Structure 1
Amino acid sequence: MISVFGSANMDLVAYVEAAPGLGETVTGREFRTIPGGKGANQAIAAARAGAEVVFLGAVGDDAFGPELRRTLAGAGVDVSGLRTVPGPSGIAQIVVDGQGGNSIIVVPGANGAVTAPTEAELEVIARSDVLLLQLELPIEAVTAAARAARAAGTTVILTPAPVQPLPDELLDAVDILVANEHEAAAITGLAGHEDAARELRTRVGWVIITLGSRGALTAAPGAGPAVRVRAPEVRAVDTTAAGDTFVGALAAAHVERQSPDRAVRFAGAAAALSVQREGASTSMPSRAEIDRSLARSDA
């Protein structure tokens, strides 16, 4: 079982040909509201990849809260532990340009109310095989959840986004760190992917640095130097939540005890499928789609 202790946001997405600069107004071609949030995205990605998933977090008592809850449940995620708190749900304002790139502003809302895991949440974490964490909840809550998981023998996978300084007590509780190249550089102060992976490997057993269309750099436990795993070649329509899709699929593969190399390829195939569709949770592939993609690449 995978537990996800993380954020749920409603994504307010504007599609434009070119993103506006400071002080500039542009006309968009489409606007959509799409359930998202890094935690919810990873939970949905893991469930669609075939895993049993429990989501732990909070939504507000506004109109977005029930919709976020329904979306998670509709994807097969257990939401019995999802809190409802007074006030607005978290939102993310997203601009997607004509090349599929995006820029995002997150307003935490109800996510900011999760300052510590509850006793019931700690019990779920202790029963889990894997705990997925991100940094859209208060850092003290994320750290407490990671430490509880480590004490219970639950594998901790952290996505250090939005990027910020990582407390030693959090990093020391992480088993698998999945960062994109910008996050890895910000955390280590090193621009080179291999250098950043080598530095992070001194603290974490398994480090994966995602490189978008160029695949991922992985330094697995007991392996030698970091190696590059290539990504499938696709035309990106919208890269929103590609990283979350990667992490959710990776967690599902890890629970199945796939080898590190196979798990990264499985996650990369899921992410490549997601960027060919618009939206966050709406873009994530099913297990059958991921398996078919891998079968084609293996042929």
Structure 2
Amino acid sequence: MTSIVVLGSTNMDLVAFVPRAPGRGETVTGREFRTIPGGKGANQAVAAARAGAEVAMIGAVGTDDFGVRLRAALDGAGVDTDLLRTAEGASGTAHIVVDDEGGNAIVVVPGANGTVTSLTHGDEALIGTADTLLLQLEIPLPVVTAGAVTARRLGVRTVLTPAPARPLPAELLAATDLLVPNEHEATALTGIADPYEAAAALLRDVPEVVITLGAAGCLHAARGGEPFTVPAPRVRTVDTTAAGDTFAGALAVALGEGRPVREALAWASTAAALSVQREGASSSMPYRSEIDAAHGSLTTGQEVDAV
């Protein structure tokens, strides 16, 4: 079983479902409201655990009720939370509007995530036990960089989802093995709209890039190789929240198990396709048995349905 450590955020997602998102200064009536455990770090941890990895989480929750629920959700998913800190005050929150076409808009308030500013000796030791370290950008950038540098020093693969997109320090890029932006983040990082050209630009700083393209699938590029795309399964989209995190978590599992890159990307794309057919973030993420069953049907050209 592959071992994954996630260094990242935990948020309670406050989700309003609406026919369409409001414009500036506009009020619309929603049809439903839910609180769902999330955060890009926690999402990737749950996705990887459900996909079959042994997963541990480094991050922080607050002393509020959300913090209790966030920790319990990770524990319930089988994620090791021994090094998940509890910081005085509010947990992180994500305020999400999901429209009837499955699109979303998100405002993140960091809360306890902002207190994760450095690694402890225990954190570094835990990273050293992993096959892969998963990173995102919802905790302070210096500790993300410290995590990547530690992983590189200890021979652990680093997979970075650069979201929310921002300029990345050279030290972080130099310690990143695989960068997994979506097409909007790739454009934000490079100033280039075309994904092939953006990938080529990113390869100046990292050895391997996967750009997710939504319903169009994903683009893989690596130094010394020809770029290629992997199509996404055809599905009926309900909610795209955390689809990218589902993809990243499943991809880390597949690569950690030694699968060929094309196969790993197709398997991760199946996981993401299953997630967008369900509402919520961590609550939408499929289990390994579901991914395997749906991935098998994909080879016959059938549309993938949620199991």
TM-score (norm 1): 0.98
1:254 corresponds to which letter in structure 2? L
Q: Secondary structure at the match of 2:279?
A: coil
Contact 1:273–1:285, Cα closer than 8 Å, also in 2:
yes
Alpha-carbon displacement from aligned partner over 1:140-161 (angstroms, at most 9, x marks no partner): 0100110010000000000000
Separation (CA, whole Å) in 1 of partners of 2:76 and 2:223: 35
Instruction: Show the counterpart of 1:40.
Output: 42
Alpha-carbon displacement from aligned partner over 1:35-74 (angstroms, at most 9, x marks no partner): 0000000000000000000001000000101100010011
Instruction: Show the counterpart of 2:212.
Output: 210
Separation (CA, whole Å) in 1 of partners of 2:156 and 2:120: 17
Separation (CA, whole Å) in 2 of partners of 1:6 and 1:240: 17
Q: Secondary structure at the match of 2:35?
A: strand
Q: Secondary structure at the match of 2:180?
A: strand
Separation (CA, whole Å) in 2 of partners of 1:266 and 1:202: 27
Equivalent residue in structure 1 for 2:104, among 97, 102, 105 = 102
Instruction: Show the counterpart of 1:122.
Output: 124
> Please, which runs of 5 or more residues in structure 1 have no aligned partner?
none
Tell me how large the CA RMSD over aligned residues is: 0.8
TM-score (norm 2): 0.96
Instruction: Show the counterpart of 1:197.
Output: 199
Instruction: Show the counterpart of 1:13.
Output: 15
Contact 1:220–1:260, Cα closer than 8 Å, also in 2:
no
Separation (CA, whole Å) in 2 of partners of 1:45 and 1:181: 21
Separation (CA, whole Å) in 1 of partners of 2:13 and 2:84: 18
Q: Secondary structure at the match of 1:68?
A: helix
List, as ranges, runs of 4+ consecutive aligned residues in structure 1 with deviation greater than 2 Å: 220-223
The reply to whether residue 280 of structure 1 matches residue 294 of structure 2 is no
Separation (CA, whole Å) in 2 of partners of 1:47 and 1:36: 14
2:270 corresponds to which letter in structure 1? A
The reply to whether residue 134 of structure 1 matches residue 136 of structure 2 is yes
Deviation at 1:294, TM superposition (A): 1.1
**More divergent stretch after superposition (197-206 vs 64-73):** 197-206
1:106 corresponds to which letter in structure 2? V
Contact 1:197–1:207, Cα closer than 8 Å, also in 2:
yes
Separation (CA, whole Å) in 1 of partners of 2:279 and 2:264: 25
Deviation at 1:81, TM superposition (A): 0.9
Instruction: Show the counterpart of 1:257.
Output: 258
Q: Percent of pairs identical after alignment?
A: 60
**More divergent stretch after superposition (83-92 vs 193-202):** 193-202
Separation (CA, whole Å) in 2 of partners of 1:215 and 1:229: 6
1:279 corresponds to which letter in structure 2? G
Instruction: Show the counterpart of 1:295.
Output: 296
Alpha-carbon displacement from aligned partner over 1:271-294 (angstroms, at most 9, x marks no partner): 000000000000000001100111
> Please, which runs of 5 or more residues in structure 2 have no aligned partner?
301-307
Separation (CA, whole Å) in 1 of partners of 2:59 and 2:160: 16
Deviation at 1:11, TM superposition (A): 0.2
Separation (CA, whole Å) in 2 of partners of 1:60 and 1:222: 45
Alpha-carbon displacement from aligned partner over 1:161-204 (angstroms, at most 9, x marks no partner): 00000000000000000000000011011111000011111221
Deviation at 1:241, TM superposition (A): 0.2
The reply to whether residue 182 of structure 1 matches residue 177 of structure 2 is no
Separation (CA, whole Å) in 2 of partners of 1:217 and 1:80: 36
Instruction: Show the counterpart of 1:173.
Output: 175
- What are the residue-to-residue correspondences of 1:139-150 with 2, within 5 Å? 139-150=141-152
Deviation at 1:222, TM superposition (A): 4.6
1:237 corresponds to which letter in structure 2? V
Q: Secondary structure at the match of 1:179?
A: coil
Q: Secondary structure at the match of 2:229?
A: strand
Deviation at 1:127, TM superposition (A): 1.4
Q: Secondary structure at the match of 1:33?
A: strand
Contact 2:203–2:223, Cα closer than 8 Å, also in 1:
no
Deviation at 1:223, TM superposition (A): 2.5
1:195 corresponds to which letter in structure 2? E
1:288 corresponds to which letter in structure 2? S
Instruction: Show the counterpart of 2:305.
Output: none
The reply to whether residue 61 of structure 1 matches residue 63 of structure 2 is yes
Separation (CA, whole Å) in 2 of partners of 1:73 and 1:266: 25
Separation (CA, whole Å) in 1 of partners of 2:172 and 2:217: 27
1:268 corresponds to which letter in structure 2? S
Separation (CA, whole Å) in 2 of partners of 1:118 and 1:6: 14
Deviation at 1:220, TM superposition (A): 3.8
Equivalent residue in structure 1 for 2:88, among 74, 86, 89 = 86
